[in-house]
Structure 1
Amino acid sequence: MYKITFSVITLTLLGSLQSVSAFDLGSAMNAVSGSSEKQADSSLLSMLTSQLGITSSQAAGGTAALMNKAKSSMKAKEYKQVTDASPGLKGGSDNAAMGTLSKMAAPSVAEAFKALGMESSMVDQFTPIILDYAEKEGGPAIMNLLKTAF
């Protein structure tokens, strides 16, 4: 009886260890990293929606349009510096609004804003908010890289 109980306990412990080893620290770090990016992205979107009176889709799409313009104007290394330092700027091209816009043939920022239901003059209102966000997140050097690209 003792041997059977010992065997059952041993097998149970081995099964538990197997499920513990299934835990992947890398996956956990990616999940935490992704959530901090979403928080940063959410912070920027909140600033834009509250200051400009626009929807979150318009904020995300407008940011993505400006960041796509910046990306095409910058060296890859510079763009990576900006998005690494200001994670909220990285997620812009992932959103649904930009998915729709990307089907258009390389829209200008003004065309993208119009497609999102905003006047092209809103670009001038987005820019300082995004630059302020970039400076707070990454410092003056990051803000200047982005300012040059806009």
Structure 2
Amino acid sequence: MRQRFTDLTRIAMLGMALLLALPATANADASGLLSSLTSQLGVSEEQASGGVGAIFDYAKNNLSADDFATVASGIPGMDGLLSKAPEVAADSGLMGAATSMLGDSGGTLGGIASLAGSFEALGLDADMVSQFLPLVYDYVGGASGADAMGLLKGLF
């Protein structure tokens, strides 16, 4: 009888340990996204974190506070990612002109044009924005859910 009790105790403790570990594994780790970007797109870690930061910064500035909270809900270290976004004058040069012309139209072109300056500040071509986005969408969908991914996709 004592052996059976010990076995049941071990099983119960193992179950508790697994339950406690679930929230940590359910949230996607941002380092996984950055690793995917560096390996699949051949960018540096600094470029990956800066590009992701720029995308999330754009989302923060163009979604309502509640919608951005939905996007950010499952993403650990969001503040750190946002801090990696390069500072770029929104109205500087040709990028500013393109952004202002396309920004009013909303949707894909306006959002991508808005990010072009940030990506160029990271030493990336503007067309890299469209290569980052599918990986970021997948990450957000896994971390924060399909609704959050839809909100982000609506910006681009």
Length-normalised TM-score, structure 2: 0.63
Greater than 6 Å deviation, 4+ residue runs = none
Structure 1 distance, partners of 2:136, 2:77, is: 10
Q: Are positions 1:79 and 2:68 aligned together?
A: yes
Structure 2 distance, partners of 1:54, 1:48, is: 7
Q: Give the letter aligned to residue 46 of structure 1.
A: S
Partner secondary structure for residue 42 of structure 1: helix
Q: Are positions 1:67 and 2:56 aligned together?
A: yes
RMSD: 2.2
Structure 2 distance, partners of 1:87, 1:149, is: 22
Deviations 1:56-95 (A, max 9, x none): 0000001111111111110011101111123365531123
Structure 2 distance, partners of 1:117, 1:138, is: 29
After the TM superposition, which residues 106-145 of structure 1 pair with which residues of structure 2 at under 5 Å, given as runs?
A: 106=90, 108-145=114-151
Equivalences, count:
109
The answer to whether the Cα contact below 8 Å between 1:82 and 1:142 also exists between their aligned partners in 2 is yes
Deviations 1:9-62 (A, max 9, x none): xxxxxxxxxxxxxxxxxxxxxxxxxx99xx812111001111101000000001
List runs of 5+ in structure 1 lacking aligned partners. 1-34
Structure 2 distance, partners of 1:62, 1:145, is: 18
Q: Are positions 1:55 and 2:44 aligned together?
A: yes
Greater helix share, structure number = 1
Structure 1 distance, partners of 2:67, 2:42, is: 31
Q: Give the letter aligned to residue 143 of structure 1.
A: M
Deviations 1:102-137 (A, max 9, x none): 2x3237310111110110000000000000001111
Q: 1:94 aligns with which of 83, 87, 97?
A: 83
